[in-house]
Amino acid sequence: MRTGDKRQGGFTYLGLLILLVLMGVVLAQAGTLWSQTRQREREADLLFYGDQFRRAIAAYYQAQSPNAYPKTLNDLLEDPRVPFTRRFLRQIYPDPMTGKRDWVLIRAPDRSIMGVYSPAPGVPIKRGGFLPADAAFADAKSYAAWRFEFAGGAPATPVPAGAVGGRRS
């Protein structure tokens, strides 16, 4: 083997190593971007599902006199106060941040349910641009601060169709 061939082989090997390093950097950036995109999607789902719970609790509360909150989340699926089928929610949605139906319940003084929130750890990416009903979520330090609560007496805040929690249908 001649001296020139060794030098040529060394440059090829060095070029291949540089190419692999560059590919690794690009793939790491793509992974970070994908992860943030996925978290933003889960946050949009959390806003949508949380709003669905808040609306269902408000509808349950306002559906009958005297007003009362549901005792369980299943009461939103089928109202036990009436002899016919009345539903306020289609299903008990899973928490998109944990993937489980492990919502933390916000209780009224009589132990009925006024709202829900996610027990998920982590700091939200979304820091502003919330709908009026969720304005208190701005600059929240954790997902647990995103509390989807209906405080009886005041009607639920109307939201234009297609604008619920930033989720696209």
- Residue 167's pLDDT band (cuts 50, 70, 90): very low
Q: Is 134 within a domain?
A: yes
pLDDT at 14 over 90: no
- Residue 163's pLDDT band (cuts 50, 70, 90): very low
pLDDT at 151 over 80: yes
**What rounded mean pLDDT belongs to the chain?**
84
Q: Is 165 within a domain?
A: no
pLDDT at 155 over 60: no
Q: What is the mean pLDDT of residues 34-53?
A: 93
Q: Is 80 within a domain?
A: yes
Q: Which among 35, 54, 26, 84 has a CA at the least distance from the CA of 150?
A: 54
In this predicted model, what pLDDT tens digit does every residue of 51-105 receive, in sequence order? 999 999 999 999 988 899 999 999 999 999 999 999 999 999 999 999 999 999 9
Domain that holds residue 64: 40-149
pTM: 0.74
> Taking the chain, what is the end-to-end CA distance rounded to the nearest angstrom?
67
Round to whole Å and give the CA distance between 115 and 28.
Answer: 39
Phi/psi for 116 (5° steps) reads -140, 160
Q: Is 10 within a domain?
A: no
Q: Is 129 within a domain?
A: yes
Q: How many CA atoms lie within 13 A of 122 on its CB side?
A: 13
- Residue 166's pLDDT band (cuts 50, 70, 90): very low
Q: Is 35 within a domain?
A: no
Provide the percentage of residues in the chain whose pLDDT is more than 90.
Answer: 63
- Residue 26's pLDDT band (cuts 50, 70, 90): confident
Q: What is the mean pLDDT of residues 131-136?
A: 92
Q: What is the mean pLDDT of residues 10-33?
A: 81
Q: Which among 126, 131, 164 has a CA at the least distance from the CA of 142?
A: 126
Q: Is 18 within a domain?
A: no
Q: What is the mean pLDDT of residues 29-36?
A: 77
Number of domains the chain is built from: 1
Q: Is 85 within a domain?
A: yes
